[in-house]
Amino acid sequence: MALTFTLVDTWDDGKRIHVAGTATASGNYATSGDTLDLSQFPLVAVTQSPVQGTAWMDGLAGYDYVFTPGAALNNGKVKIFQQGASAGAFPELGSGAYPSAITSDTITF
């Protein structure tokens, strides 16, 4: 797995389940994003998949981490975008080894 997730906290506010944690990148990034298997977290595994736009990830190295829910809990995707050489939309990170800026980044979700 190229992204390893560590659950730090969970809570239920009666309307939704919240999860917080960290992510660590190693190995290679896959085009169209790395798979995020939420079924590894028992509290989340018994509920429905997250709704688009309700999850976020942040890092400090200037990359944009975007979670997209899948059809099931075990096939969501995390896409990584980087600032391009000119103004405009951030292009997706190319497939291949993660740059050191990402592998040493503090990524939270």
> In angstroms, rounded to a whole number, what is the distance separating the alpha carbons of residues 62 and 2?
19
List strands edge to edge, sheet with 64-68. 34-36, 76-81, 64-68
Question: How many other C-beta atoms are found inside a 10 Å radius of the C-beta of residue 10?
Answer: 14
Most confident of the following: 9-13, 14-18, 26-30, 62-66: 26-30
Check whether 15 has a pLDDT greater than 80. Answer: no
pLDDT of 70 reads 82
Closest CA to 26 of 5, 57, 10, 51: 5
pLDDT of 88 reads 67
| Full residue range of the structural domain in which residue 104 is found | 3-108
Count the domains in the chain.
1
**DSSP state for residue 38 in the 8-state scheme:** G
> Mean of the per-residue pLDDT values for the chain?
81
Q: Are 79 and 55 in contact (CB under 8 A)?
A: no
- Kindly give, in sequence order, each residue whose CB lies less than 8 Å from that of residue 42, ignoring residues fewer than 6 positions away: none
> In angstroms, rounded to a whole number, what is the distance separating the alpha carbons of residues 108 and 5?
9
pLDDT of 54 reads 56
> In angstroms, rounded to a whole number, what is the distance separating the alpha carbons of residues 71 and 30?
19
Check whether 6 has a pLDDT greater than 80. Answer: yes
Average pLDDT, integer, range 14-41: 84
Average pLDDT, integer, range 38-42: 75
